[in-house]
């Protein structure tokens, strides 16, 4: 007798990571429910799934009560603004989705007896005093700074998730995501990679804040999705870093983008924003040991795929992007 496919809910399904998660679970044979209020998501990211019988979409805000009829096996909570431009523009919504949205998703997991994986972030480490960052590091975060709305929303997300695990026995998983890139990123989302490529496409000089010595570690999206999948299927409860430990300075990264795009732009330097992290590099010992995971896609390979994707966007779309951004996540 045929077994009924398992059902998974992905919140933030129309976003960059959420849409790739929907693709992965569809490929694995699941019935997928995508949920998004479209405040930063884009239906174009998942429109290819709408014709499939095993995909449903709910236009819904997770900060409001969530009702899903029928059984539910897994929840992946990825609803949240995730770029500096977004969470500086909509700070209250950012805090609400981290607090109320997570509360609602955990309540749903409890009611359905579903396993839930919540998306935390390397931003819980703030401007770190430990390098590279291990999961045991508690962070250096300014709760009242401009980035605090995102950092503290994610720190609260982790706390309430562990509370539901310890008090209610909900099966929970916590991933701390480091800088990720790939197709379906928004050119205007304020993160370093799309900002640099957008400026190159428009023929503008590339803006680097500070002296460019601050570092980031960029993980290609397919590697991240594999790490998420493995963590969800594991029995590990504590937070796990998923990211690529290949660290690079933003100045060097801007130079790589200029070389990739074949443009003649210069790098221009502007004042470093408040609380912008000076270093960002994951220690992925836990992911390697527990999940058998490590990134496979090189930055040169991933950058080319991403640049080719951005070039397919309508010229009017990347020409209308803002010329200024405020942080380089």
Q: What is the largest CA-CA distance in the chain?
A: 65
Spatial separation of the C-alpha atoms in residues 310 and 283, rounded to whole Å:
30
* The two structure tokens encoding residue 161: 């998730």
Residues, the chain: 329
Identified catalytic residue from 30, 125, 150, 229: 150
Spatial separation of the C-alpha atoms in residues 117 and 92, rounded to whole Å:
23
Distances (CA, A) of 310 to 76, 97, 303: 27, 29, 10
Does the annotation count 229 as an active-site position?
Answer: no
Q: Which residues lie below 8 Å from residue 106, measured CB to CB, with a gap of 6+?
A: 116, 160, 161, 164, 170, 172
Spatial separation of the C-alpha atoms in residues 283 and 161, rounded to whole Å:
22
Helix axis angle, 102-112 to 148-168, nearest 10°: 20
Spatial separation of the C-alpha atoms in residues 254 and 193, rounded to whole Å:
8
Partnered with residue 219 across adjacent β-strands are 180
Q: Which of 97, 19, 83, 98 is nearest to 57 (CA)?
A: 19
Q: Which residues lie below 8 Å from residue 5, measured CB to CB, with a gap of 6+?
A: 29, 30, 31, 54
Spatial separation of the C-alpha atoms in residues 20 and 56, rounded to whole Å:
15
SS (H, E, C) 11-76: ECCCCHHHHHHHHHHHHCCCEEEEEECCCCCCHHHCHHHCCCCCEEEEECCCCCCCCCCCCCCEEE
Residue positions annotated with a catalytic role? 150
């Amino acid at each position: 007798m045929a077994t009924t496919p398992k059902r998974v809910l992905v919140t933030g399904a129309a976003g960059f990571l959420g849409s790739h998660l929907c693709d992965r679970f569809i490929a694995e044979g699941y019935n997928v429910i995508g949920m998004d209020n479209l405040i930063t998501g884009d239906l174009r990211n998942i429109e290819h799934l709408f014709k499939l019988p095993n995909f449903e979409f709910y236009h819904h805000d997770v900060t409001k009560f969530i009702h899903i009829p029928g059984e539910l096996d897994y929840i992946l909570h990825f609803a949240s603004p995730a770029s500096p431009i977004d969470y500086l523009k909509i700070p209250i919504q950012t805090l609400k989705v981290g607090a109320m949205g997570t509360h609602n998703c955990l309540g749903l997991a409890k009611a359905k007896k579903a396993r839930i994986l919540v998306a935390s972030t390397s931003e819980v480490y703030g401007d770190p005093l430990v390098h590279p960052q291990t999961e045991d590091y508690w962070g250096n975060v300014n709760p009242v700074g401009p980035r605090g709305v995102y950092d503290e929303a994610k720190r609260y997300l982790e706390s309430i998730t562990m509370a539901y695990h310890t008090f209610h026995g909900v099966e929970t998983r916590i991933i701390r995501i480091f800088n990720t890139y790939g197709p379906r990123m928004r050119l205007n989302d304020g993160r370093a990679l799309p900002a640099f490529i957008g400026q190159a496409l428009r023929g503008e000089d590339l803006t680097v804040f500070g002296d460019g010595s601050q570092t980031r570690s960029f993980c290609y999206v397919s590697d991240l999705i594999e790490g998420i999948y493995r963590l969800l299927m594991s029995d590990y409860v504590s937070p796990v870093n998923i990211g690529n430990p290949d660290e690079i300075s933003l100045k060097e990264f801007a130079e790589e983008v200029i070389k990739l795009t074949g443009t003649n732009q210069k790098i221009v330097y502007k004042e470093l924003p408040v609380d912008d992290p000076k270093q960002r590099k994951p220690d992925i010992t836990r992911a390697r040991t527990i999940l058998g995971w490590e990134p496979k896609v090189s930055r040169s390979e991933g950058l080319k795929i991403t640049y080719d994707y951005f070039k397919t966007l309508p010229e009017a779309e990347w020409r209308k992007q803002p010329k200024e951004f405020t942080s380089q996540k």
